[in-house]
Each structure stands twice: as C-alpha cells, then as structure tokens.
Structure 1
Amino acid sequence: MYSGHPLMNSLCLKRDEAVTCQYLLSRERDDSSDLSKSNGFRLLGQLLVHAHGVVSTDNYLNKCMLLLPEYSKDTPSPEPGLECSTFVGNSCCKKGVTLPFMTEYNWQNITDYLHCPQKVALEPQCQKQFFEELCFFLCSPDIGPWIELATHDEPVTDRFKDIPICASVCDQWYNACQDEYTCTDNWYIGFNNTSGMNKCHEGTQCLKYPEYFPTSKSFCENIWDKSFKVVPDDEPCMHFSYDATSGNNPNRAVAEARAKELSTSSSLRIYISQILIVGLAILVYKVNT
C-alpha cells in the first residue's frame, strides 16, 4: 500500500478499515502534486470523519479472519452441521472447512500433518488435539482482538498472533503428540511450500516433536509462528474447545477484556491524531490564504 502522510498512516490501524485507508491514501497521493485549498480541506474533513468511531470494543469483537473465501465469513453466525461442535451455534467458518483433516491428515491440501515418512497416521489423541486447535483457528468468533494481516506463504489473508492460551490446554496438546514427527520448529515459515503443500526442505531431518520442541511452551508458541502465547491458567486465557451447549463460553470474557484494552489505546492514538490534524488544518489554511 502507498505510504503517504504520517497522519494518514496513523489512522490505518485495522484490517476492516483497509478500504477506507487505501482510498484516502490514494487521494492524498493523487493530490500531492497540487494540493489545492478545496482538496486540502476535503482531505482534512475525511480524516476527521474517519478518526471518529474507531474506539468502540465492537471494532474488535464478532470479527472473523479472512481465510479461504469459500469457507470464511465476515461475521460469525450459526452454522448447522459444522464438524466443529464447539462453534455450531456461532461460527466464523462454514461446514466442510476442516476437510480432509480427519481422514487424510491434511488441511485443504495446504497443510500436511504427516509431512515426515515415519508414520502413516497421527496418534488418535494427537489428531483430536490438532482438530480442536484447527477448529479454533478457523471458526472461533472470539479472535478479533488478535487478527493481523498474514505474511506467510499460505493462500490466506489474515492470521492471529499472541492469542493467550491456557497452559493446561498447551500441555494437553503437546503431551498428546510426543510420538509424532516433524522437520522444522516453525510450521509457518519452516517448510518448502512451492508445490502448494508443505514439504520438508532438502537436508532437514525428521525427528520426534520433542527434538524440535523441548517444552510444551516452545511447541505451542513456535509451531504456528507466535500465533499463541502460553499463560498460566489463573490468567485470562483461551480454550480450544468447550461445552457450548451449556451456554458458557469462557473465551468471550478474554476477548472482551482485550478489546477494551485495544479500544482505550486506540482512543489515545486518535486523540493525538486529531490534535495533529488541527495543526495541519491551520497550516493548510495559511498556505492557501
């Protein structure tokens, strides 16, 4: 994206504002050679309008990642028949999104969980843990505060980063997969993905997970390139699955608390931006009068 005036860039904070930001930045670029009085004040007006209303926690909640278009939603909604039972009542993904993981141990012919030749199947408990983690990644309606633009090779638009997961969740996942094999300690950037499916780089060695991930914390935090951050169970933390039929979603409170933190921080940035915009308005007025 074109990088223009720092005031413009300071307002381009979230993915859902990308279209507006791209428009404003392009207008700034187009007008930069001849910043007329009318163009200058129109730009300032657009900035001020845009600066209002981005501080609500709603900007971070009930948001979905943009993954595979045929399976992604803009906002979460019920999804009857979804294979991820935790998220049937409120899901960011559509039915069939996890296929064919449960039968072929790969996701959408993009991620092969059996990329090493030593085994032809995951251990049942390891498969269960990876399935719950995959469902959380694809379908959870509570990941909005951690969404970022993806920068890896997979054909998706978004990712999340540093979502706090409970240490007990991490331990259970890691302990279930002790006998599985891999050839890298980072499944986002450590593979050869030129064929579309993740393959081990030539010369790398397939070893059991503990050889690449000596602790549960290193496993959970590094396997997906810092997507997760392991925290003690007595701190706000996420669960991959829960009994949604009980009406109790433990992840919601964690997301709401983080959204509140982000909205407060955003409010401060916008307040500072508005002060700078007023200064810019005075400068534009002086230049054009």
Structure 2
Amino acid sequence: MAHLMTVPWLLLLIWMAHCAASRATRARADLLNVCMDAKHHKEKPGPEDNLHNQCSPWKKNSCCSTNTSQEAHKDISYLYRFNWDHCGTMAAECKRHFIQDTCLYECSPNLGPWIQQVDQSWRKERILDVPLCKEDCQQWWEDCRTSFTCKSNWHKGWDWTSGYNQCPVGASCHPFHFYFPTPAALCEEIWTHSYKLSNYSRGSGRCIQMWFDPAQGNPNEEVARFYAEAMSRAGLHGAWPLACSLSLMLFWVFS
C-alpha cells in the first residue's frame, strides 16, 4: 500500500517539474525582442523610419525614438548631459564608437538575455556582460588611443556641479591606454561591466555586434536567440534534478 501511495506523488512531482520547465521556457522567450525599462527606451520595439545616422541600422525594429537617435549624436545632449570632451577634444574616430555604443544601448531590441533589474533613480534595468565581438572592442580601443580621459569607470564619480560631467578633483587626464591598458579593460570597465570582451568574431552568431550593415540584416537577432535558448535549456536541466531528488525522498519515506 505504501508503494502505491508514492505513485500519485511521483506523478505530481513530474507534473511540477514540467510546469517549472515550461515557465523557464516562457521566461526565456520573453528575452527576445524586448526593450529595457530605462530612461529613454520605448516600452516595446518597433519600426522607426527616420533614425539618425549611426542609429539607422535599427530603423526596422528599434527601442529608441527618432529624437533619441538624434540626441545620441550631440555633445552634452539632453539624454545624459555627458561630456565626451572632458579631457580636451575627443578624436572623431574615437567618438564615433561612443555614439555607436549609445545607439546600441538605446535602440537594440536584442539585449534581452543580458538585462538585469537595478534600483537606480534613472533606470530600473541595465545590461550586464553583453558579449561584444572582439573586433568591435579591439577597434574601439585602437581608435581611442590618441584621446584622453581621467577615469576608468564612466558610470560614477564625476563632478556634476556644472550640469554636465567634469573630472573629479585629483583625477588627472591621460591617454586612454593609461586607464584602459587593453581592449578588455575598455569594453568591460568603462560602463561597469555592461559589456564583456568575447572570444568570438563578428558573424559567428555568438557575440553582439556594435557595428553591422543593415542591408545584410541584423546579426544580433541570431545571437539573442542562441543565448536565450541556452538559458532555456539550463532552466530545463535545473527543474528535473529537483523533481528527481524529491521523488527519491518521497520514495524513501513511503517505502
């Protein structure tokens, strides 16, 4: 009789594991084609025919508005009042990477797998450890070698008394490579680990491209799917061992 009593319990646990796995799958599907809950992002992605200049690759499906894309190209824009030229004029070839970085952050609907909740006054979500293609990171670092900065983490520690960021007292201006000795240091430290230098190359389907030709489609859609599916499989694998462990415990109790 005791053994018979375990059968419905085992069936219940199998059903619970299935529900947990289904919830994990749905949660991973929710990571695709989404916008962050942040300061200037749209609630949902959609077409924006008039995205400006470097933000235009996302015009078919974007989390940013036309106005946001225009502001992303301005010095000390209303977006964040950030001054790229805090240590003298930033080289144009360097600044274009920061504009592209801003466009990716504001416009991309393909960053869902790396969105994390945060408790900050200006946003409720952020990205963490987005695998940036190694060529994009390397070129960013190379093109900024002749420009100057005074900090390695640009998210915090600035003097904002003037209404825009200035170097804090005691911080000295040096070439970028002083604060960012490697491409990884630049990409990973400048925005508090929003990005992570990937070992994968552009076109691999395994890393996010900051730069891409929209005529060839958006390669980051495939990348987001790959990581979302990987997270889904991890959720499935995590649900079944729990069910099996509980099943064994019940079997031991009732046997």
CA distance in 2: counterparts of 1:181 and 1:139, whole angstroms: 27
Residue aligning to 2:23: 53
Q: Paired residue for 1:82? A: 51
Choose the corresponding residue for 1:241, options 202, 211, 214: 211
Give the C-alpha shift of residue 256 in structure 1. 0.8
Give the alignment partner of residue 197 of structure 2, picking from 230, 233, 247. Answer: 230
SS at match of 2:191: coil
1:185 aligns with 2:181: no
Within 5 A, what are the aligned runs for 1:8-87? Answer: 53-56=23-26, 57-68=28-39, 71-83=40-52, 84-87=55-58
What letter is aligned with 1:158? E
Equivalent position of 1:211 in the other structure? 178
Letter in 2 for 1:258: Y
Gaps of 5+ in 2: 1-17, 248-255
Residue type of the alignment partner of 2:81: I
Choose from 104, 118, 141 the match for 2:75.
104
Pair 53,178 (structure 1): closer, same or farther in 2 beyond 3 Å: same
- Alignment deviations for residues 205-236 of structure 1 (CA, whole Å, 9 cap, x no partner): 12121110111111111111111111223461
Aligned match of 1:124 in 74, 86, 92?
A: 92
- Which of 252, 263, 266 is the aligned partner of 2:232? 263
Quick one: higher RCO (CA 8 Å, sep 6+), 1 or 2?
2
- Counterpart Cα distance in 2 of 1:186 and 1:180: 16
Aligned pairs, number: 224
Structure 2 equivalent of residue 146 of structure 1: 114
Matched residue SS, 2:63: strand
SS in structure 2 at match of 1:74: coil
Q: Which amino acid aligns with 2:30?
A: N
Cα distance in 2 for partners of 1:109, 1:64 equals 18
Q: 1:113 corresponds to which residue?
A: 84
- The two structures have a TM-score, normalised by structure 2, of 0.76
One-letter amino acid matched to 1:61: L
Residue number in structure 2 paired with 1:18: none
Q: Tell me: CA distance 1:73–1:54, structure 2 relative to 1, closer, same or farther (3 Å).
A: farther
* Per-residue deviation, 1:172: 1.0
2-side partners of 1:225 and 1:92: how far apart?
A: 22
Identity among equivalent positions (%) equals 30
Indicate the residue corresponding to 1:8 in structure 2. none
